[in-house]
Amino acid sequence: MKKILIVEDQDEIRELIRVTLEFESYEIHEAGDGDTGLALAQKLKPDLVLLDVMMPGGLDGLKVCQRIKSDAALKRTKVVMLSAKGTAADRQAGSQAGADQYLIKPFSPLELISVINKVIR
């Protein structure tokens, strides 16, 4: 079973993503900030991290993505950035951080499943 880590500071969005993924056969884990998300990623070694860009605290999504992608133990982990910021510069920043995909909020459950399938299947 594939492991997915959702790192999102907004409870409602995290819940929406979890409920969407519960229809698929994934082992789902959650974190509400970048620091906790990075620690969980290092511990769980998930197949995929769904990562919000803008989060409070020490680590935003771009920094978490960079750390995941530079960690040899997490080299197989894919990262999909989730953001309300969708300009070309925002997408470029996600790409430079190492994101495998960049999904702009709001997104539909079908869009989310489609992107996940493309990235980890």
Each residue's pLDDT, cut to its tens digit, for the chain (121 residues) gives 999 999 999 999 999 999 999 988 899 999 999 999 999 999 999 999 999 999 988 899 999 999 999 999 999 999 999 999 999 999 999 999 999 999 999 999 999 999 999 999 7
> Which CATH architecture fits 2-120?
3-Layer(aba) Sandwich (3.40)
For the entire predicted model, the pTM comes to 0.96
- pLDDT, residue 37, reads 97
| Cβ partners under 8 Å of residue 50, min gap 6 | 4, 5, 6, 7, 8, 17, 80, 82, 112, 116
Three-state DSSP class for 22?
Answer: coil
For 90, counting Cβ atoms within 10 Å of its Cβ (0-12 exposed, 13-18 middle, 19+ buried), the class is middle
- The predicted structure's pLDDT at residue 56: 85
pLDDT for 49 equals: 98
What is the number of residues in the chain? Answer: 121
